[in-house]
């Protein structure tokens, strides 16, 4: 009698993928829950073939490192395995609690216990350099990279997705080290402001970039497109990065950039978005903003190539009658449901979408699994013959992949 072990390998791979992969895009830094880890363990016990295959392709597919001692033990464990045994592949690595300096911080700011170091990071990258697709670095106190680390990252041949973030340390009074003049002077001596430029120049295969750090780029940003990689997707935390750098990196990446997403933009930074919009409006194919406040600077602009639009919070739907929506060829609108979902019933009307003549799909993302959309949304889509969709919180979707994902057969 035949059983599941007799299925062709390609069928088993699809089954495994649905059971133990949270992300629907290979370069998204989604890491396994305890439930998924237990599922992996049970599946590995079925037979030797499954144990080896899961070890190679899934056990360390996404890995988060934040403890120096545990990371060193992990490295030693892998190095102690026999060379004839299957070698694990790791596609997504996130390193948190990463101390970027060789020296301890200012005395008033305690260094977190067991913090990761650049030396350990280099060892991890060397272990999986031929399989890494996504790398995330969450540094402590400041963004800076020594030359050895930049070289180690540059030796990853298939790296296509890079995430850079910084977490500030606080002293007993609640202020950051940069608030202290002595601590600040020590830090500035150690920071290499040009390290971002040096790194990006060597990552010519990079396609996706997520930034929440401050850095420096050469003053002549318009000429960087020829030497920077052809990055098509940029996600920026504007409040962490600053609007000046947001504009600089937008200019540098304009020749290749197709999808732009940003968040955490409040207060004075909102008004500074206009130069970014004006710089990219002729080439952008996808745009995702946090809220309708960030829409204000662009409502009078048209984006001749824009096909996909997303917003994290339900907007005032009266804005859909503005020039931006009326004159841009938007085919997909995705509304996030992180906050203020009750406003949908009052701000969304039956004719809210009638001004978007190119629109084909309308729906919600990051919805709760049991979310039921207001009937007026369904009726509006039906009247305009639009395809309606809901993406639950179970799906962590790279915005640049939204269009291709909706084209799959289960979203007719």
In this prediction, residue 402 carries a pLDDT of 74
From residue 131, give the alpha-carbon distance in Å to each of 49, 90, 195, 217, 232.
Answer: 21, 6, 24, 29, 21
In whole angstroms, give the CA distance from residue 43 to residue 40: 5
Query: Does residue 315 carry a pLDDT above 80?
Result: yes
In whole angstroms, give the CA distance from residue 33 to residue 22: 9
In whole angstroms, give the CA distance from residue 93 to residue 245: 26
Question: Are 328 and 302 a contacting pair, CB within 8 Å?
Answer: yes
pLDDT digit string, tens, across residues 27-77: 344 455 555 666 667 777 777 777 777 777 777 888 899 999 999 999 999
- How many CA atoms are closer than 13 Å to the CA of 169, on its beta-carbon side? 26
| Stronger pLDDT, 168 or 157, i.e. the higher one | 157
Average pLDDT over residues 269-298: 90
Of 101-110, 325-334, 341-350, the one with minimum mean pLDDT is 101-110
In this prediction, residue 365 carries a pLDDT of 83
- How many CA atoms are closer than 13 Å to the CA of 300, on its beta-carbon side? 3
In this prediction, residue 378 carries a pLDDT of 92
What is the 8-class DSSP label of residue 59?
Answer: I
* Sequence spans of domains, the chain: 1-59, 63-156+180-195
Query: Does residue 395 carry a pLDDT above 60?
Result: no
- The residues pairing with 210 across neighbouring beta strands, listed in sequence order, are 163, 235
Core vs surface per residue 296-307: b (16+ CB within 10 A) or e: ebbeebebeebb
In this prediction, residue 29 carries a pLDDT of 43
In whole angstroms, give the CA distance from residue 389 to residue 140: 39
Burial class (CB in 10 A: 0-12, 13-18, 19+), 319: middle
Query: Does residue 220 carry a pLDDT above 80?
Result: no
Among 133, 54, 40, CA closest to 92 = 133
In this prediction, residue 397 carries a pLDDT of 54
Of 114-128, 218-232, 259-273, the one with minimum mean pLDDT is 218-232
Mean pLDDT of the chain: 80
In this prediction, residue 340 carries a pLDDT of 45
In whole angstroms, give the CA distance from residue 22 to residue 173: 40
Q: Could you give the percent of the chain with pLDDT greater than 70?
A: 73
Q: Read off the pLDDT band of 137 (50, 70, 90).
A: very high
């Amino acid at each position: 009698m035949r059983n599941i072990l007799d299925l062709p390998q390609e069928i088993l791979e699809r089954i495994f993928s649905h059971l133990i992969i949270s992300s629907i895009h290979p370069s998204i830094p989604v890491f396994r829950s305890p439930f998924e880890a237990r599922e992996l363990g049970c599946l590995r016990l079925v037979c030797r073939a499954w144990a080896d295959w899961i070890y190679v392709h899934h056990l360390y597919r996404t890995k988060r490192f934040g403890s120096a001692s545990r990371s060193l033990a992990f490295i030693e464990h892998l190095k102690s395995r026999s060379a004839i045994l299957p070698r694990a592949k790791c596609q997504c690595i996130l390193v948190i609690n990463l101390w970027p300096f060789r020296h301890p911080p200012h005395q008033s700011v305690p260094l977190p216990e067991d913090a990761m170091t650049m030396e350990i990071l280099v060892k991890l990258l060397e272990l999986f350099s031929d399989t890494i697709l996504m790398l995330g670095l969450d540094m402590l106190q400041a963004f800076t990279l020594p030359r050895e680390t930049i070289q180690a990252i540059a030796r990853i041949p298939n790296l296509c997705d890079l995430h850079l973030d910084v977490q500030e340390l606080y002293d007993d009074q609640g202020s950051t080290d940069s608030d202290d003049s002595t601590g600040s002077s020590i830090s500035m001596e150690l920071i290499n402001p040009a390290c971002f430029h040096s790194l990006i120049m060597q990552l010519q295969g990079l396609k996706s970039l997520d930034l929440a750090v401050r850095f420096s780029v050469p003053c002549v940003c318009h000429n960087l497109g020829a030497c920077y990689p052809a990055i098509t997707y940029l996600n920026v935390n504007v409040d962490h990065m600053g609007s000046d750098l947001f504009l600089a990196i937008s200019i540098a990446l304009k020749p290749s950039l197709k999808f732009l997403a940003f968040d955490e933009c409040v207060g004075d930074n909102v008004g500074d978005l206009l130069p970014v919009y004006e710089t990219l409006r002729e080439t952008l194919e996808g745009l995702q903003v946090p809220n309708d406040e960030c829409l204000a600077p662009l409502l009078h602009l048209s984006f001749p190539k824009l096909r996909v639009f997303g917003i994290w919070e339900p907007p005032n739907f009266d804005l859909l009658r503005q020039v931006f929506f009326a004159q841009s060829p938007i085919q997909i609108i995705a509304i996030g449901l992180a906050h203020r979902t009750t406003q949908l019933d009052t701000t969304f009307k039956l004719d809210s979408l009638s001004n978007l003549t190119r629109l084909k799909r309308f729906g919600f993302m990051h919805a709760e699994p049991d979310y039921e959309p207001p009937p007026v949304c369904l009726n509006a889509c039906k009247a305009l013959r639009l395809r309606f969709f809901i993406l639950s919180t179970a799906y962590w979707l790279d915005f640049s992949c939204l269009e291709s994902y909706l084209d799959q057969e289960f979203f007719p």
